[in-house]
Amino acid sequence: MAAGVGFNDVKPLLERRCTGCHGAKTALHGLRLDTREGALKGGESGVPSILPGKSAESLLIRYVSGADKEIVMPPAGPKLTAEEIRLLREWIDSEQAAPVRVERPKGYDHWSFQPIRKSNVPEVKRKDWIRTPIDAFVLAKLEAKGWQPAHAAQPHQLLRRVHLDLIGLPPTLAEQSAFARKPDLDAVAKDLLGRASHGERWGRHWLDLVRFAESNGYERDGTKPEAYKFRDYVIRAFNQDKPFDRFMAEQLAGDELDGANEETLIATGYNRLGPWDDEPADPAEDRFDQLDDVVSTTSQVFLGLTLGCARCHNHKFDPLTAQDYYSMVAIFNVLERPRRGRTELTLPVGTHAAIERERARDARLQQQAAMAAAQTQLFGSPLREPLEAIAAIKRTEPDLPRGYFLHEPKSQPPKTHLLVRGKATRPGPEVPPAVPAVLVKQQPEFPETGAQSSQRRLTLARWLASRDNPLTARVIVNRVWQFHFGEGLVRTPSDFGTLGQRPSHPELLDWLATWFMDNGWSFKKLHTLILASNTYRMSKAANESYVAEDPENRLLWRFPFRRLEAEAIRDSMLAVSGRLNPKMYGPSMFPEVPEAAMAGSSDPDKIWKASPEDERSRRTVYAFLKRSLIVPMLEVLDLCDTSRTSAQRLTTSVAPQALTLFNGDFVNAQARHFADRLRREGGADPAKQIDLAYRLTLARPPTAAESAKMLKFVEREPLEQLARVILNLNEFVYTD
* Model pLDDT, residue 385: 65
Q: Hey, how many other C-beta atoms are within 10 angstroms of the C-beta on 119?
A: 18
* Model pLDDT, residue 1: 38
* Model pLDDT, residue 412: 83
* Model pLDDT, residue 389: 63
Residues 6+ apart with CB under 8 A from 71: 63
Of 483, 482, 481, 461, nearest to 472 by C-alpha is 461
Query: Which sequence spans correspond to the domains of the chain?
Result: 7-97, 105-120+134-150+470-538, 351-399, 653-736
Taking each helix axis from N to C end, the angle separating 352-379 and 384-396, rounded to the nearest 10 degrees, works out to 160
Q: Please report, for the chain, how many H helices and E strands are present, in that order.
A: 32, 6
Tell me the chain's radius of gyration from C-alpha atoms: 31
* Model pLDDT, residue 564: 97
CA distance 266 to 249: 12
Residues 6+ apart with CB under 8 A from 496: 112, 303, 304, 305, 471, 474, 475, 490
Tell me the sheet residues that pair with 344.
Answer: 339
Mean pLDDT by 10 residues, the chain (736 residues): 71 83 79 83 79 85 83 83 88 73 75 94 97 98 97 97 98 98 97 98 98 95 96 98 98 96 98 95 95 98 97 92 95 95 94 92 85 75 64 75 94 89 88 96 87 91 97 98 98 97 98 98 98 98 96 97 96 98 98 86 78 97 96 96 95 93 95 98 97 98 97 96 97 92
Of 91, 88, 66, nearest to 79 by C-alpha is 66
Q: 575, 175 in Cβ contact below 8 A?
A: no
* Model pLDDT, residue 2: 43
Q: What does the DSSP assignment read for 392-420?
A: HHHHHSPPPPEE---B---SSPPPEEEEG
